[in-house]
Structure 1
Amino acid sequence: MTSRTTRVGKYELGQTLGQGTFAKVKFAKNLETGENFAIKILDKENVFKNKMIDQIKREISTMKLIRHPNVVRMYEVMASKTKIYIVLELVTGGELFDRIATKKRLNEPEARKYFQQLINTVDYCHSRGVFHRDLKPENLLLDGNGDLKVSDFGLSALPQQFREDGLLHTNCGTPNYVSPEVIHDKGYDGAKADIWSCGVILFTLMAGRIPFEDPNMHALYTKISKADYTFPTFFSSSVMKLIKRILDPNPQTRITAAEIIENDWFNKGYKKPTFESQNDDHQDDKVVDDIFDEASTSNLVVEKKQQDHQTGPSTPAVMNAFELISTSQGLNLSSLFEKQMGLVKRQTRFTSRCPANDIITKIEEAAGPMGFDVKKNNFKMKLQGEKTGRKGHLSVATEIFEVAPSFYMVDLRKSSGDTLEFHKFYKELSTGLKDVVWKSPDELDQEFKQIK
Structure 2
Amino acid sequence: MQQVRTRVGKYELGRILGEGAFSKVRFARNTETGQGVAIKVLDKYKVLQNKMIDQIKREISTMQLIKHPNVVQLHEVMASKTKIYIVLDFVTGGELFDKINDLGRLKEDEARRYFQQLINAVDYCHSRGVYHRDLKPENLLLDTFGNLKVSDFGLSALSRDIKSDGLLHTTCGTPNYVAPEVISGKGYDGTTADIWSCGVILFVLLAGYLPFDESNIIALYRKINKAEFNIPKRLSPGAKNLISRLLDPNSNTRITMAEILNDAWFKKGYKPPKFPKEDVIIDNIHAIFDDSEEYQVVEKKETQVVLGNAFELITMSQGLDLGTLFEKPMGIIKREKRFISKESPNNILSKIEEAVIPLGFSVQKQNHKMKLHCVKAGRKGNLAIATEVVEIAPSLVMVNFQKAAGDTLEFQEFYKNLTPGLQDVVWSSQANIEENKSV
Q: Normalising by structure 2, what TM-score?
A: 0.85
Is the CA contact 1:350–1:437 (under 8 Å) kept in the aligned structure 2? yes
1:449 positional shift: 12
Residue 253 (structure 2) pairs with residue 253 (structure 1): yes
Residue 305 (structure 2) pairs with residue 305 (structure 1): no
Q: Percent identity?
A: 60
Question: In the alignment, residue 288 of structure 2 is paired with which amino acid?
Answer: I
User: SS of 1:69's equivalent?
Assistant: coil
Is the CA contact 1:71–1:149 (under 8 Å) kept in the aligned structure 2? yes
The equivalent of 2:328 in structure 1 is none
1:296 positional shift: 4.3
- Distance change (3 Å), C-alpha of 1:120 and 1:90: same
Question: In the alignment, residue 301 of structure 2 is paired with which amino acid?
Answer: K
- Distance change (3 Å), C-alpha of 1:366 and 1:304: farther
In the alignment, the residues of structure 1 paired with residue 81 and residue 27 of structure 2 have an alpha-carbon distance, to the nearest angstrom, of 21
Moved more, 202-211 or 424-433: 424-433
CA RMSD of aligned residues (A): 3.7
1:387 positional shift: 10
In the alignment, the residues of structure 2 paired with residue 103 and residue 419 of structure 1 have an alpha-carbon distance, to the nearest angstrom, of 14
Is the CA contact 2:76–2:280 (under 8 Å) kept in the aligned structure 1? no
In the alignment, the residues of structure 2 paired with residue 226 and residue 266 of structure 1 have an alpha-carbon distance, to the nearest angstrom, of 25
Question: In the alignment, residue 118 of structure 1 is paired with which amino acid?
Answer: L
Which runs of no fewer than 5 residues in structure 1 stay unpaired? Answer: 332-342
Q: How many residues align?
A: 430
1:219 positional shift: 1.2
Residue 398 (structure 2) pairs with residue 401 (structure 1): no
Query: Deviation per CA, 1:224-260, whole angstroms, max 9, x where unpaired?
Result: 1111111112101111011101100010110011110
1:358 positional shift: 2.1
In the alignment, the residues of structure 1 paired with residue 423 and residue 167 of structure 2 have an alpha-carbon distance, to the nearest angstrom, of 57
Is the CA contact 1:325–1:448 (under 8 Å) kept in the aligned structure 2? no
Residue 279 (structure 2) pairs with residue 283 (structure 1): no
Q: Normalising by structure 1, what TM-score?
A: 0.82
Is the CA contact 1:123–1:257 (under 8 Å) kept in the aligned structure 2? yes
Alignment of 1:335-414 (within 5 A): 349-363=338-352, 376-382=365-371, 396-402=385-391, 406-413=395-402
Residue 214 (structure 2) pairs with residue 214 (structure 1): yes
In the alignment, the residues of structure 2 paired with residue 170 and residue 362 of structure 1 have an alpha-carbon distance, to the nearest angstrom, of 50
- Distance change (3 Å), C-alpha of 1:395 and 1:210: closer
In the alignment, the residues of structure 1 paired with residue 397 and residue 168 of structure 2 have an alpha-carbon distance, to the nearest angstrom, of 51
- Distance change (3 Å), C-alpha of 1:50 and 1:425: farther
Query: Deviation per CA, 1:103-146, whole angstroms, max 9, x where unpaired?
Result: 22111111111111111111110010000011111111112222
Query: Deviation per CA, 1:16-70, whole angstroms, max 9, x where unpaired?
Result: 2223333222221111222221111122222122221111111100111011111
Question: In the alignment, residue 96 of structure 1 is paired with which amino acid?
Answer: L
1:202 positional shift: 0.7
1:161 positional shift: 1.3
Residue 199 (structure 2) pairs with residue 199 (structure 1): yes
The equivalent of 1:86 in structure 2 is 86
- Distance change (3 Å), C-alpha of 1:232 and 1:390: closer
Is the CA contact 2:355–2:418 (under 8 Å) kept in the aligned structure 1? yes
Residue 32 (structure 2) pairs with residue 32 (structure 1): yes
Residue 47 (structure 2) pairs with residue 50 (structure 1): no
Residue 141 (structure 2) pairs with residue 141 (structure 1): yes
Moved more, 126-135 or 105-114: 105-114
- Distance change (3 Å), C-alpha of 1:171 and 1:375: same
Is the CA contact 2:369–2:387 (under 8 Å) kept in the aligned structure 1? yes
Moved more, 140-149 or 200-209: 140-149
1:213 positional shift: 1.1
